[in-house]
Structure 1
Amino acid sequence: MRDHHVYDLGDFTLQGGLTLRDAKLAYQTYGTLNAGRDNAIVYPTWYSGRHWENEWLIGPGMALDPDKYFIIVPNMFGNGLSSSPSNTPPPWDRARFPNVTMYDNVRAQHRLVTEHFGIERLPLVTGWSMGAGQTYQWAVAYPDMVERIAPFCGSTVTSEHNKVFLDSVRAALTADDAWQGGWYETQPTKGLRAAARVYAGWGFSQAFYWHQTYRQLGFSSLEDFAVGFWEGFFLDDRDANNLLTMLWTWHNADVGKTPGFEGDTERALRSITANAMVLPAEKDLYFPPEDEEWACAFIPHAELRVIPGVWGHFAGGGANPTDTAFIDNALKDLLTR
Structure 2
Amino acid sequence: MRSGSAGGRCRRHPSQAVVVAANMATSSNATSWPQPEEGDCIIKEFHFDSGETMPELRIHYRTLGTIKKAKDGHASNAVLIMHGTTGSSAGFFQDIFAGQLCKPGQLLSSEEYFLVLPDGIGHGGSSKPSDGLRASFPRYGYNDMVHAQHALLTQHLGVDHLRLVMGTSMGGMQTWMWGTTYPDFMDALMPLASLPTQIAGRNRMMRKMAIDSIRQDPEFRDGNYEVNPRGLKAALHVLAWMSSAPLRWQADCPDQESADAFIDAWMDKGMREKDANDFAYAFDASRDYDPRPGLKGVKAALTAVNFADDQVNPPELGIFEEETKKVPRGLAIMMPIDEQTIGHGTHSVAANWKHHLAELLERSA
Q: Give the TM-score range, shorter chain.
A: 0.7 to 0.9
Structure 2 equivalent of residue 261 of structure 1: none
Deviations 1:19-77 (A, max 9, x none): 12211111110112124331010001211111110223222143222121111011111
Question: How far 1:282 moved relative to its partner?
Answer: 0.7
Q: Distance in 2 between matches of 1:177 and 1:143?
A: 45
Matched, 1:213 2:260: no
Structure 2 equivalent of residue 239 of structure 1: 275
Question: How far 1:247 moved relative to its partner?
Answer: 0.9
Matched, 1:68 2:99: no
Q: Distance in 1 between matches of 2:170 and 2:149?
A: 14
Q: Distance in 2 between matches of 1:214 and 1:198?
A: 20
Q: What is the CA RMSD across the aligned residues, in angstroms?
A: 2.0
Identity over aligned residues, as a percent? 26
Question: How far 1:233 moved relative to its partner?
Answer: 4.5
Unaligned runs of 5+ in 2: 1-14, 17-36
Q: Which amino acid aligns with 2:79?
A: I
Question: How far 1:104 moved relative to its partner?
Answer: 1.0
Question: How far 1:12 moved relative to its partner?
Answer: 0.4
Q: Distance in 1 between matches of 2:268 and 2:289?
A: 27
Deviations 1:83-113 (A, max 9, x none): 111115xxxx101112112111111111111
Matched, 1:283 2:309: yes
Structure 2 equivalent of residue 306 of structure 1: 334
Find the partner of 1:171 among 198, 208, 212: 212
Structure 1 equivalent of residue 80 of structure 2: 42
Question: How far 1:225 moved relative to its partner?
Answer: 1.7
Structure 2 equivalent of residue 30 of structure 1: 64
Structure 1 equivalent of residue 192 of structure 2: 152
Query: Residue 4 of structure 1 aligns to a residue in which SS?
Result: strand
Q: Which amino acid aligns with 2:51?
A: G
What is the correspondence of 1:1-337 to structure 2 with a 5 Å cutoff?
Answer: 1-2=15-16, 4-36=38-70, 37-56=75-94, 57-58=97-98, 59-60=102-103, 61-88=105-132, 93-156=133-196, 157-188=198-229, 190-209=230-249, 212-215=250-253, 221-229=258-266, 231-255=267-291, 265=292, 267-289=293-315, 290-309=318-337, 311-318=342-349, 324-337=350-363
Query: Residue 129 of structure 2 aligns to a residue in which SS?
Result: coil
Which sits farther off after the overlay, 98-107 or 173-182?
173-182
What TM-score does the superposition give when structure 2 sets the normalisation length? 0.80
Q: Distance in 2 between matches of 1:174 and 1:227?
A: 23
CA spacing shift, 1:20–1:214, aligned 2, 3 Å: farther
What TM-score does the superposition give when structure 1 sets the normalisation length? 0.86
Q: Distance in 2 between matches of 1:33 and 1:214?
A: 42
Given that 2:214 and 2:231 are in contact with CA atoms closer than 8 Å, whether structure 1 keeps it comes out as yes
Which sits farther off after the overlay, 190-199 or 147-156?
190-199
- How many residue pairs get aligned? The number is 312
Q: Which amino acid aligns with 1:196?
A: L
Question: How far 1:288 moved relative to its partner?
Answer: 2.4
Q: Distance in 1 between matches of 2:319 and 2:348?
A: 19
Query: Residue 305 of structure 1 aligns to a residue in which SS?
Result: strand
Given that 2:183 and 2:299 are in contact with CA atoms closer than 8 Å, whether structure 1 keeps it comes out as yes
Question: How far 1:236 moved relative to its partner?
Answer: 4.7
